[in-house]
Structure 1
Amino acid sequence: MPQKAAALRFVILLGFVSLCADATYEGARSITGAYLEVLGASGTVVGLVAGFGELIGYGLRLVIGYLSDQTGKYWGITTLGYFVNTAVVPLLALAGRWEVAAGLMMAERTGKAIRTPPRDALLSHGVSQIGRGFGFGLHEAMDQTGAVMGPLAVAAMVYFQGEYRNGFTVLVVPAVLGLIVLGILQFIYPNPSDFEEETEETSQEEKLPQIFWIYLGAVAIIAAGYADFPLIAFHFQKQGIATGQTIPLFYAFAMGIDAVAALIFGYLFDRIGIFVLMIAAVLSSLFAPLVFLGNTQLALLGIAFWGIGMGAQESVLKAAIASMVPKHKRATAYGIFSTGYGLAWFLGSTLMGVLYDHTITTLIIFASTTQLLAIVFFAWVKLQADGSNIVLSK
């Protein structure tokens, strides 16, 4: 089979694994908060469990990325991560106490942290044959498809069966299916790095290049000013823009936009390079005023811009890293990227929550300004790339 066709099949199959994983854990996350309340947890406990889980999820990636590159066990670490990430989810149906459920929830976040850096490194090899932007965009589109399917399946089970436990039980199906395909995938493609050729100069580099750190600064700025959906949902509920029944539909709409945008921006990245991230930053700067000042119709438009920004971030940001970092350091780079992105998102979301309670206008200014400020850093990255003869695209 020609290399390009084989690489495309590899990317699609790995995307299917991610689709199944997202259907599993996003399906669970759609009801875990309510489930903890049923089991007797307090609001403080729910907040701590969610926050600590995300802290583990992003912080551990720094170590896992480095470990993956040092050992070269990309498939083994990826498999372990996917197993923990998905296998613990159906066990939530058996949790009789909130303490047990909380432990399983944090185990799920730990699994995601373990599998993400080596998975992205493996994916970066396959997309080198079909266009990095398109490849990562395709993976993100499949990923988000699962993120929509899982919660819908859980909602249907809870609606017809009446218990949260049944919602977790149905997630056995995507969990098992994803793990089976993952096992087959690494049997067919034991060495995905063979898809990608590397020059002798880049293969000898021992440190991450300066351009990566400048790029990470741009990414951190974007993440810090990107409002998390729970704050948006809180605003919708408080202002009567949407109800408890329609807010999930807003989120599903955003995820659909995310999937489409990932494909479009990934395709454009392969043709015009990092300039596409500047376009995405301009568009995402519009979400805050529309979401936090508009009526229902304008808020829906704002959610569309929010989804566009998310799609560009989840696809192009990772594709650009594959262009600037040698493949033997890539899992380390993705681990640092994920940790920096998650920390900036956490700090920015906390600040925006405080700003919301005091003045929404300041929140909007902060969110929009950070998106536009990132353009300066992306321009700096482009200058660095041009000076170093680095091609930040296909």
Structure 2
Amino acid sequence: MERPGRKLPVRTPRRSAGASATRGDSAWGAVLGFGLVSLAADVVSDGARPLAGPLLAQLGASALLVGLVTGGAEAAAQGLRLVFGPWADRTRRYWTFTLAGYALTVISVPLLALAPVTGAASLVLACTLILGDRVGKAVRSPAKTVLLAAAAKPIGRGRGFAVHKSLDLAGALLGPLLVSAVLAVTGLLTAAFAVLALPASAAMFLLVRLRRRVPDPGARVQAEQPTSSSPPTAAQPPPVITGAFLLFGVAAFFWSAGLVAFGVISFHLTTTAAVPVAVIPLLYAGAMGAAALGALASGVVYDRAGGAVLLALPLLIAAVPVLALAPGTGFILAGVLVWGTATGVQDSTVKALIADLVPELRQGTAYGVFAAFEGAGALAGGALYGALYDARPLLVGAVAVLQVVAVVVLLAALRKSRRT
């Protein structure tokens, strides 16, 4: 019997190595699952992306229209996250937005095969579907990033995002190779778009299976909310917009305005450099390989030096129009690789930076707000490249000025974030 006044020792439960391993295996399974979904979806989206310019040119579009449509598509992919990121945070239905966004992409892209055969409406239909693909990206991206961040937390978000990005870029590499092979065999853009229905179906199949395994973090957040007896201010998350965050967003606007959409580069390749259409997806695949290397390198440097790694981004972007829009094929190839590297740096580092700046409960909103800055810059850049395409020296000078401003604002943002 227990003696009066004496307490028995209390044994606190310890986490066993087996339990930790089980959680780690489950987390890796979720991360790999999201990576495979992104791989299949990027085969679809990035398989079609380098063909947007040639398709629109075939349907009679001008350089200005190509610039506006491709730039507008990228603007939609970024800017509309300002709507869907906060919306996902308010409703906590992250899986609903993820499923809807992927569905919009995997439906829009294969339907581009029908655009050339729809007569007078062909150009309008093609523009609408190109925009639809990127709107799908805006719908799913903030919500999917929140899901991935929650799934990767037990194993470390840095490693989780790195593995996911590697699989994502593998799809961006395989997609152009697939459509290039189809073009080499058939010579038909319609066949190249139609074959993308296969990976589109695979993406949705994998996503539905993953939905059954990965819980929605919205349910966990609601379960962890304070009870009614808690002070009402305890559940209020800090604001998203801080001085450092705002400066980073402004810098993102300027570097995005200078980073040309690949649709303009592919338009230049087919109309000025006389590069066969079947070769363009191969060049895009090379750009995605450069993006993977840029993402890995910037990720390593970010872990050691923080956001200062982004100072390399404006330098890369300033070199793109000098090389990618040159008349010589060798310069264009170098420009495509620089473009890919810049895209990889921008894609991999920004998410880690935002996660460090913003509390977890507001990350969906933060990704949406930051993407709005990038989207506005992409829209401005599409108009800039379309209007100055025939005046290359002015275009190169305008991009250089934009990147100088980006460097100045970025330095101010880094300084303010260190103080914070």
State the TM-score bracket (shorter-chain normalisation).
Answer: 0.7 to 0.9
What's 1:187 paired with? 212
Asked if 1:313 is matched to 2:349, the reply is no
- Relative distance call for 1:159 and 1:291 in structure 2 (3 A) is closer
Residue by residue over 1:22-54, the C-alpha shift from the partner in whole angstroms, topping out at 9 and shown as x without a partner, is 11233344446666787xx54269747656655
Question: Match of 2:140, as an amino acid?
Answer: R
Instruction: Give the Å deviation of 1:218.
Output: 1.2
Please give the TM-score of this superposition, normalised by the length of structure 2: 0.78
Q: Which amino acid aligns with 1:141?
A: S
Q: In structure 2, what residue type is equivalent to 1:267?
A: V
Q: Look up the equivalent residue of 2:181 and give its one-letter code.
A: A
> Is 1:264 the counterpart of 2:284 in the alignment?
no
The residue type equivalent to 2:282 in the other structure is L
Residue number in structure 2 paired with 1:227: 260
What is the percent sequence identity of the aligned residues? 34
> Relative to structure 1, is the Cα distance of residues 248 and 175 closer, same or farther in structure 2, using a 3 angstrom cutoff?
closer
State how 1:16-31 maps to structure 2 within 5 Å: 16-31=36-51
Hey, what's the Cα distance between the residues in 1 that align with 2:45 and 2:315?
32
Query: Is residue 249 of structure 1 aligned with residue 282 of structure 2?
Result: yes
Please, which of 220, 242, 248 is the counterpart of residue 209 of structure 1? 242
Residue number in structure 2 paired with 1:380:
412
Shift of 1:84: 2.0
Look up the match of 2:165. 140
Matches within 5 A, 1:1-394: 1=21, 3-31=23-51, 41-43=59-61, 47=66, 53-54=73-74, 56-93=76-113, 97=118, 98=122, 103-128=128-153, 132-161=157-186, 163-191=188-216, 204-236=237-269, 240=273, 242=275, 244-292=277-325, 295-358=328-391, 360-388=392-420
* Deviation for aligned residue 1:182: 1.5
2:10: which partner in 1? none
Distance 2:28 2:286 in 1: 28
- The one-letter code matched in structure 1 to 2:134 is R
Displacement of 1:61 after TM fit? 2.1
CA distance, structure 1, for counterparts of residue 364 and residue 185 of structure 2: 43
Q: Go from structure 1 to structure 2 and tell me whether the alpha carbon gap of 1:364 and 1:66 turns closer, same or farther (over 3 Å shift).
A: same
Partner of 1:392: none
Instruction: Mark the CA change 1:8 to 1:372 in structure 2 (over 3 Å): closer, same or farther.
Output: farther
Residue 390 of structure 2 aligns to a residue whose secondary structure is: helix
Aligned positions, number = 383
The runs of 5 or more residues in structure 2 that have no matched partner are 1-20, 225-232
Q: Deviations over 1:185-204 (max 9, x none)?
A: 23222045879x9xx99973
Cα displacement (A) at 1:179: 1.5
Change (3 A) 1:310 1:104: closer
Q: Is the 8 A contact 1:281 1:374 kept in 2?
A: yes
- How far off is 1:67 after superposition? 0.7
Q: Per-residue displacement from partner, 1:243-292 (whole Å, max 9, x unpaired)?
A: 55544433222121012211221122122211211234334443343445
1:105-131 Cα deviation digits (max 9, x unpaired): 444333222111211222333455555
| Residues 355, 29 of structure 1: alpha-carbon distance in 2 compared, 3 angstrom cutoff | closer
Change (3 A) 1:235 1:43: closer
Stretch moving more, 297-306 or 329-338 = 297-306
- Secondary structure class of the residue paired with 2:241: coil
Quick check: 1:321–1:333 contact (8 Å CA) kept in 2? yes
Q: Whose Rg is larger?
A: 2
The TM-score with structure 1 as length reference comes to: 0.82
Amino acid in the other structure paired with 2:110 = P
